[in-house]
Amino acid sequence: MPGLTAMMALAWAPSSSVNLRFGSGGGRKAASAMPLVKKSSSSSSSAHLLGRSRARAAATAATAACDEQQLQTMELLRRLGEDGWVEEHMLSLLTPVAEAWQPADLLPAFAATAEEQRSQVAELQARAAGVPDDLLVCLVGNMVTEEGLPTYMTMANRVRGIDDATGCDGHGWARWLRGWTAEENRHGDALNRYLYLCGRVDMRQVERTVHHLLRGGMRTLEPSCPCHGFIYVAFQERATFVSHARTARRAALHGDACLAKLCGAVAADEKRHEAAYTRAVARCFEADPDAAVRALAAVMRAKVTMPGELMTDGRDENLFDHFAAVAQRVGVYTAADYGDMVEHFVRRWGVAELGGLSGEGRRAQDYVCGLPRKIRRMEQLAHDCAAQKEAQPVSFSWVFERPVRLH
């Protein structure tokens, strides 16, 4: 799942993160040397203790309300996994295994004769020879991120009530998670095999990067609300669709029909997965608009980054930043796309039209609805800043240390 440095991995907000701050009862010193009426120390102490008691009661009530809301959300999702909603609205978007494409369908067939095999590989390599290094860097970065799937499945399976506790649970959410993982697994496999066959990249360095990413993991905190995860993945799936679709178009422009078809197939999968998670979030908005809009605002404030943020090849500590900069320059995925995505989901989930919200819910609504405009202003400033910089090349081990321009 490719993306930009500007998109940061989801920081889950635990219930204890409700940030309620209360005064200590101290206040500022009086301007005069002596107050007109001197209060007794016992009266002051009693008032102070009363204030602290009320503060503790308010904090306890807020935490209890938050916990109760989470329990209600988890109960809703549990019912959806058992009453057929997940099967009808999400599982129906998965392709039956017998009809699904497999990497072998899109790459040279090794069931052919030795001569046919050599001919097909030679044709693939001849077409790949026209793909520029900057697009190869984007392709490798996308593939490495796709190969982090074991981490992503682990992250998705942490929410009690909708998790796959045994590894083969029968409820809808568990079946969805396994089906989603099975489809996603083909993406890394297909891209990896293409890169191996094309002969344009240093596969040992690419494989080391995948190894590092799986060992390094993904920077997240303990999940507190399933809706947070659905929102995050909806954004990720849309970002991935955009990136793979644009890679497909650029590959076609450079004459590589095999790569274009492969990336197009991956993009089509990501589009279906985006639709599924978008429906899950929409259902959360229907059930509890106030909780859902606050969850959306929490995700947006934490920023949505790519799960491959921690990638490294063991040499370049800023590898993800450099990959993201190349993707921005080439136009495979840009900061402007992030603003477009926020606007798309705000419209899709009807955020601006929500009514009957709490004070916190209205503040979250205002924040989210105003975010696309802020993102575009920041993107324009970043664009202007980049335009003033000199062309800066960086050597990528993925392409045998050949330099690739960042800006």
| CATH code of residue 112 | 1.10.620.20
Give the pLDDT band of residue 406 (cuts 50, 70, 90). Answer: very high
Mean pLDDT of 214-223: 78
For residue 14, is pLDDT > 60?
no
Task: Fill in the DSSP letter of residue 223.
Answer: -
Among candidate residues 184, 189, 256, 316, the one labeled active-site is 184
Q: Is residue 45 part of a domain?
A: no
Whether 340 sits among the annotated catalytic residues: the reply is: no
Among candidate residues 89, 244, 273, 322, the one labeled active-site is 273
Best-predicted range by mean pLDDT (44-48, 50-54, 173-177, 297-301) = 173-177
For residue 32, is pLDDT > 90?
no
Q: Into how many domains does the chain fold?
A: 1
Give the pLDDT band of residue 304 (cuts 50, 70, 90). Answer: confident
Q: Is residue 358 part of a domain?
A: no
Whether 146 sits among the annotated catalytic residues: the reply is: yes
Q: Which domain holds residue 88?
A: 82-285+303-335
54-86 per-position pLDDT tens digit: 555 544 544 444 566 677 777 888 888 888 999
Among candidate residues 147, 202, 270, 316, the one labeled active-site is 270
Whether 176 sits among the annotated catalytic residues: the reply is: no
Whether 187 sits among the annotated catalytic residues: the reply is: yes
Angstrom CA distances, 369 to 70, 204, 352, 361, 364, stand at 24, 45, 6, 12, 9
Whether 407 sits among the annotated catalytic residues: the reply is: no
Whether 269 sits among the annotated catalytic residues: the reply is: yes
Long-range contacts of 23-31 (CB under 8 A, 24+ apart): 23/51, 25/51, 25/52
Annotated binding site for Fe cation: 146, 184, 187, 237, 270, 273
Residues with Cβ within 8 Å of 198's Cβ and at least 6 positions away in sequence, in order, are 124, 125, 128, 131, 259
Q: Is residue 172 part of a domain?
A: yes
Q: Is residue 355 part of a domain?
A: no
Residues with Cβ within 8 Å of 392's Cβ and at least 6 positions away in sequence, in order, are 405, 406, 407
Distance CA 152, CA 306 (A): 11
For residue 309, is pLDDT > 70?
yes
Among candidate residues 134, 164, 189, 237, the one labeled active-site is 237
φ and ψ of 110, to 5 deg: -90, 10
Q: Is residue 28 part of a domain?
A: no
Give the pLDDT band of residue 200 (cuts 50, 70, 90). Answer: very high
How far apart are the two ends of the chain, measured CA to CA in Å? Answer: 22
Distance CA 363, CA 319 (A): 37
Q: Is residue 263 part of a domain?
A: yes
Asked if 314 and 208 count as a contact pair (C-beta separation under 8 A), the reply is yes
Whether 237 sits among the annotated catalytic residues: the reply is: yes
89-99 per-position pLDDT tens digit: 999 999 999 99
CA-closest candidate to residue 11, choices 159, 218, 276, 163: 218
Q: Is residue 50 part of a domain?
A: no
What pLDDT is stored for residue 382 in this prediction? Answer: 73
What pLDDT is stored for residue 169 in this prediction? Answer: 95
User: Which of 64-73, 119-128, 322-331 bottoms out in mean pLDDT, i.e. has the lowest?
Assistant: 64-73
Residues with Cβ within 8 Å of 330's Cβ and at least 6 positions away in sequence, in order, are 134, 135, 138, 250
Distance CA 90, CA 390 (A): 48
For residue 306, is pLDDT > 90?
no
Between these two residues, 369 and 52, which has the higher pLDDT value? 369
Among candidate residues 134, 146, 147, 316, the one labeled active-site is 146
Mean pLDDT of 225-248: 93
What pLDDT is stored for residue 224 in this prediction? Answer: 62
Annotated binding site: 146, 184, 187, 237, 270, 273
Say if strands 393-396 and 402-405 run parallel, antiparallel, or are unpaired: antiparallel
Q: Is residue 290 part of a domain?
A: no
User: Which of 39-43, 268-272, 316-320, 375-379 bottoms out in mean pLDDT, i.e. has the lowest?
Assistant: 39-43
